[in-house]
Amino acid sequence: MEEIATAAAGGKRGYVFEIVKAVIVALVISLVLVLIAAFIIKFFNIPSGAVPVINQVIRSLGILLGCMIALRRPGHGWLRGIITGAAYSALAFVLFSLLGDGFVWNITVLNNVAIGTATGLISGIIAMLIRRN
Protein backbone atom coordinates (compact mmCIF):
# COMPACT_ATOMS: atom_id res chain seq x y z
CA MET A 1 0.00 0.00 0.00
CA GLU A 2 2.86 2.38 0.80
CA GLU A 3 4.41 1.68 -2.59
CA ILE A 4 1.25 2.90 -4.35
CA ALA A 5 1.15 6.08 -2.27
CA THR A 6 4.85 6.75 -2.91
CA ALA A 7 4.44 6.19 -6.64
CA ALA A 8 1.44 8.52 -6.75
CA ALA A 9 3.30 11.25 -4.85
CA GLY A 10 6.33 10.86 -7.11
CA GLY A 11 4.07 11.13 -10.14
CA LYS A 12 2.57 14.39 -8.91
CA ARG A 13 6.03 15.81 -8.23
CA GLY A 14 7.05 14.74 -11.72
CA TYR A 15 4.13 16.62 -13.25
CA VAL A 16 4.96 19.75 -11.24
CA PHE A 17 8.61 19.50 -12.28
CA GLU A 18 7.57 19.19 -15.93
CA ILE A 19 5.37 22.29 -15.67
CA VAL A 20 8.16 24.31 -14.02
CA LYS A 21 10.59 23.12 -16.68
CA ALA A 22 8.13 24.04 -19.46
CA VAL A 23 7.65 27.55 -18.04
CA ILE A 24 11.41 28.11 -17.75
CA VAL A 25 12.01 26.84 -21.28
CA ALA A 26 9.21 29.07 -22.60
CA LEU A 27 10.64 32.13 -20.82
CA VAL A 28 14.16 31.52 -22.16
CA ILE A 29 12.86 31.01 -25.70
CA SER A 30 10.76 34.16 -25.41
CA LEU A 31 13.70 36.22 -24.20
CA VAL A 32 15.84 35.06 -27.11
CA LEU A 33 13.06 35.68 -29.63
CA VAL A 34 12.36 39.15 -28.19
CA LEU A 35 16.02 40.08 -28.65
CA ILE A 36 15.98 38.79 -32.23
CA ALA A 37 12.72 40.62 -32.92
CA ALA A 38 14.13 43.86 -31.48
CA PHE A 39 17.05 43.72 -33.89
CA ILE A 40 14.78 42.90 -36.83
CA ILE A 41 12.38 45.72 -35.94
CA LYS A 42 15.26 48.19 -35.63
CA PHE A 43 17.03 47.24 -38.85
CA PHE A 44 13.97 46.84 -41.09
CA ASN A 45 11.95 49.80 -39.74
CA ILE A 46 8.85 47.75 -38.94
CA PRO A 47 5.96 50.02 -37.87
CA SER A 48 5.21 50.20 -34.15
CA GLY A 49 1.66 48.92 -34.73
CA ALA A 50 3.08 45.49 -35.56
CA VAL A 51 4.99 45.15 -32.27
CA PRO A 52 2.03 43.88 -30.15
CA VAL A 53 1.27 41.22 -32.77
CA ILE A 54 4.92 40.18 -32.87
CA ASN A 55 4.96 39.96 -29.07
CA GLN A 56 1.88 37.70 -29.01
CA VAL A 57 3.40 35.44 -31.65
CA ILE A 58 6.61 35.23 -29.61
CA ARG A 59 4.68 34.43 -26.41
CA SER A 60 2.60 31.76 -28.14
CA LEU A 61 5.65 30.22 -29.78
CA GLY A 62 7.48 30.16 -26.44
CA ILE A 63 4.58 28.39 -24.72
CA LEU A 64 4.22 25.89 -27.57
CA LEU A 65 7.92 25.03 -27.62
CA GLY A 66 8.06 24.88 -23.81
CA CYS A 67 5.19 22.38 -23.76
CA MET A 68 6.64 20.36 -26.64
CA ILE A 69 10.06 20.12 -25.00
CA ALA A 70 9.12 19.61 -21.34
CA LEU A 71 5.74 17.85 -21.12
CA ARG A 72 6.64 14.21 -21.59
CA ARG A 73 4.49 12.23 -19.15
CA PRO A 74 1.21 10.92 -20.53
CA GLY A 75 -2.16 12.19 -19.43
CA HIS A 76 -3.80 15.50 -18.60
CA GLY A 77 -1.88 17.41 -21.25
CA TRP A 78 -4.65 19.96 -21.55
CA LEU A 79 -4.55 20.74 -17.82
CA ARG A 80 -0.76 20.90 -17.64
CA GLY A 81 -0.82 23.12 -20.72
CA ILE A 82 -3.31 25.50 -19.10
CA ILE A 83 -1.21 25.70 -15.95
CA THR A 84 1.95 26.21 -18.02
CA GLY A 85 0.34 29.00 -20.06
CA ALA A 86 -1.05 30.81 -17.02
CA ALA A 87 2.20 30.49 -15.04
CA TYR A 88 4.21 31.63 -18.06
CA SER A 89 1.93 34.65 -18.50
CA ALA A 90 2.37 35.69 -14.87
CA LEU A 91 6.13 35.22 -14.83
CA ALA A 92 6.57 36.84 -18.25
CA PHE A 93 4.64 39.88 -17.02
CA VAL A 94 6.93 40.20 -14.02
CA LEU A 95 10.11 39.56 -16.01
CA PHE A 96 9.34 41.90 -18.90
CA SER A 97 8.05 44.56 -16.51
CA LEU A 98 11.35 44.44 -14.63
CA LEU A 99 13.26 44.69 -17.91
CA GLY A 100 10.99 47.42 -19.29
CA ASP A 101 9.34 50.55 -17.99
CA GLY A 102 7.89 49.02 -14.83
CA PHE A 103 4.62 47.42 -13.83
CA VAL A 104 1.64 48.73 -15.75
CA TRP A 105 -1.72 47.14 -14.98
CA ASN A 106 -4.14 47.43 -17.89
CA ILE A 107 -6.32 45.33 -20.16
CA THR A 108 -3.23 44.09 -22.01
CA VAL A 109 -2.21 42.04 -18.97
CA LEU A 110 -5.60 40.30 -18.94
CA ASN A 111 -5.35 39.77 -22.69
CA ASN A 112 -1.89 38.22 -22.32
CA VAL A 113 -3.10 35.86 -19.58
CA ALA A 114 -6.13 34.80 -21.63
CA ILE A 115 -4.11 34.19 -24.79
CA GLY A 116 -1.33 32.48 -22.81
CA THR A 117 -3.81 30.15 -21.12
CA ALA A 118 -5.54 29.31 -24.40
CA THR A 119 -2.19 28.74 -26.09
CA GLY A 120 -1.14 26.51 -23.20
CA LEU A 121 -4.33 24.47 -23.55
CA ILE A 122 -3.72 23.89 -27.25
CA SER A 123 0.02 23.32 -26.77
CA GLY A 124 -0.55 20.75 -24.00
CA ILE A 125 -2.96 18.83 -26.21
CA ILE A 126 -0.54 18.93 -29.15
CA ALA A 127 2.35 17.79 -26.94
CA MET A 128 0.36 14.79 -25.69
CA LEU A 129 -0.82 13.85 -29.20
CA ILE A 130 2.72 13.93 -30.54
CA ARG A 131 4.07 11.91 -27.58
CA ARG A 132 1.34 9.30 -28.06
CA ASN A 133 2.30 8.69 -31.70
Residue 81: pLDDT above 60?
yes
For the segment 109-132, the average pLDDT, to the nearest whole number, is 93
Find the domain containing 58 and state its range.
2-132
Nearest to 66 by CA among 25, 11, 35, 32: 25
* Each residue's pLDDT tens digit, 41-66: 989 988 888 999 999 999 999 999 99
CB-count exposure of residue 116 (10 Å: 0-12, 13-18, 19+): buried
* Each residue's pLDDT tens digit, 88-100: 999 999 998 888 8
Decide if 22 contacts 84 (C-beta within 8 A).
yes
pTM, whole model, 2 decimals?
0.86
Q: How many domains does the chain have?
A: 1
Average pLDDT, the chain: 88
* Each residue's pLDDT tens digit, 27-38: 999 999 999 999
- State CA 8 to chain mean position distance: 26
